[in-house]
Chain A
């Protein structure tokens, strides 16, 4: 049971403690700074915050004393020679020329989107998913970071661009989440470590799909069989998918859950195949976050939204949907949540479940916690900054 919640918000990092009087926020850390992701390393309790500083660049901050003090010594940077194939968001007056040779751009870190912690079998190993699409790994608790080159140089990205021109076609599309940074580049937002073996890792890429390694990051392969997209001529294309978030069941790690742009998907075989389990007639289809139960492989939570043009609560009523049968049916959980005039959207990292408690927060600054697996909800506050991430400590 966790009695602490960590929020990464548009205006800083917040730690909430569960007290007799209720969940209580401490004074904000990193005041005024946008925090794209904040989480605790379950192995040693180190708190991490990814600062998305508009002026001074993306930086990591960590606290080894439970949030009393933070240091900014842990930094990651793309190595010299790291390049990617430039892409542009299609604009009406700038038609891309399909015959033009690829243009290359030197990579610079735009955003740390998510941190993923290895298990006890790999002490000190931390992964960071970033824009423009690089996965970084630290093997010393965050003192130093290294770009994972096999993934950066993957055939699906054009091959080894350190060595020269592209040798294959780039399959990784840009994510709209990058547009605010003035670029149209891919991003890694999900880093999922198999609790049985930390060398087995999934990452999810907007917009490409899920990519998997079983050898600690030396080789990678797409894991998108069964995924469907509704916006390409071939709905079963290997690449071009838009996962919004991927999570797995800790006690049954072959069970994965994926909230995708085109619905909710699950896999019962370690991402060898995926199956769509949306129920659009119940509005369980579009959304950003998904949380897997730690013990029960058949239980997961999503926060549905009207997609994809509106991106807010469905018909003004905020609800969480839970399945307890692997996605065959979904239950709308509304008790304690506003059922009119709600315009909330919950970002991909802003839902978490831990030992029966479920928490989520929205860009409207509302934070909700359930102590009974989502059956009922209590609002912690309405006036938080826009929330980017919610994680139990």
Chain B
């Protein structure tokens, strides 16, 4: 099952968050499972319409996901998923 790694900035809101294997055939399915494990987690990554937040990036391997609106990108069991924050702010 896909391995998921997180930016450490999310530990501030979810102190027990750990890089881990998470079942799911698409990015959205993985996110839904993470939201079950860490209630409220999905709302930090996507807004209520399901869109990836503007300043959040998700990579599959070294490639950013293509579907930022619905997160439908398919995942293989060997994939590594990275949930990162874009470099922005001041």
Contacts and interface: CB of A to CB of B under 8 A. Distances in A.
Interface of A: 54-57, 59, 72-73, 75, 77-80, 106-109, 182
Interface residues of B, number: 19
A54 B88 contact: yes
Contact of A55 (B40, B43, B55): B55
Contact of B89 (A54, A107, A182): A54
Given A75-B40, A108-B47, A108-B49, A55 B13 contact: no
Contacts of A73: 40
- 10 shortest interchain CB distances as A-B pairs: A108-B47, A77-B48, A56-B44, A106-B49, A55-B55, A55-B85, A108-B49, A78-B48, A108-B48, A54-B55
B64 to A, nearest CB: 16
A56 B13 contact: yes
30 contacts: A54-B88, A55-B9, A55-B53, A55-B55, A55-B56, A55-B88, A55-B89, A56-B10, A56-B13, A56-B44, A56-B53, A56-B85, A57-B44, A57-B47, A59-B43, A72-B13, A72-B40, A73-B40, A75-B40, A75-B43, A77-B43, A77-B48, A78-B48, A78-B49, A79-B48, A80-B48, A106-B49, A107-B48, A108-B49, A109-B47
Contacts of B9: 55
Interface string B35-51: 00000100111011101
A54 B54 CA distance: 8
Nearest to B46: A57
Contacts of A78: 48-49
Interface centre among A54, A77, A79, A80 (most CB of B within 10 A): A54
A354 B88 CA distance: 38
Contacts of A75: 40, 43
Contacts of B13: 56, 72
B74 to A, nearest CB: 24
Interface in B34-86: 40, 43-45, 47-49, 51, 53-56, 85-86
